[in-house]
Amino acid sequence: MRAQEVTSILERIYRLLSSLRGGTLVPTGVVLSPESHAKIVSELSEIFEAENISRIQLEHHLALAVSIRSENTDVVIVKELVPNPCPVCHHRLTFLRELIERFENDDANLIRCPMGHRYPGQLKMYYLNIFQQDEGNEIKKSVTACPECGSKNIQYLGPAEMFCLDCDWDSGMAPRYRRI
């Protein structure tokens, strides 16, 4: 068996979430296929020696909203406010989860920095594949370090689609916006 096959789905999610810590990307949800959900429930049942782990218990365990559907699955949804830091005072944004929620609910498209400045911004949404490492064998990773900050923490979404988890650099991807 290959090493990637041995890695559990929960471990993959944990690694992906830990790679986002300290950056500007905020995980907001997980979308699983019914098969992946069943495997995770089985893994958690073994860990906690319990039966009938519910979706709500899984959400509490991951501290993220969990959706189960048949299409576009096995991804972690992450969001980012841009620009960050503030273009006026250059302070990094804090309390990103709350700022993102406020930005989504407000039609003004303005971000408020910790110093009180309000400036126009964008909300970028990315879908990070939980099984990226398996697909990584097929993708020739041409970029191993971020050209902006030098970080080796590059996330690939496809052969030519990538972005840095530590700064705002991406390979020219069109952001996906969720505006109602």
Backbone angles phi, psi at 22, to 5 degrees: 85, -5
pLDDT grade, residue 101 (50/70/90)?
very high
For the purposes of burial, counting CB atoms within 10 Å of the CB of 180, is it exposed (0-12), middle (13-18) or buried (19 or more)?
exposed
| 65 Cβ neighbours under 8 A, 6+ residues apart | 28, 29, 30, 59
Q: For residue range 2-39, what is the model confidence (pLDDT) as tens digits?
A: 333 446 889 999 988 888 877 889 999 999 999 999 99
Q: For residue range 107-130, what is the model confidence (pLDDT) as tens digits?
A: 888 999 999 999 999 999 999 999
Query: What DSSP element (H or E) covers 42?
Result: helix 34-48
Q: Share the mean pLDDT of the chain.
A: 84
Rounded Cα gap, residues 89 and 95, in angstroms:
17
pTM given for the model: 0.70
Peptide bond into 85 cis (omega under 30): yes
pLDDT grade, residue 175 (50/70/90)?
low
Give me the residues paired with residue 75 across strands. 31, 129
- Angle between helices 34-48 and 9-20 in degrees, nearest 10: 90
Q: For residue range 30-81, what is the model confidence (pLDDT) as tens digits?
A: 999 999 999 999 988 888 888 888 889 999 999 999 999 998 899 999 999 9
134-139: average pLDDT: 44
Q: Is 158 helix (H, G, I), strand (E, B) or coil?
A: coil
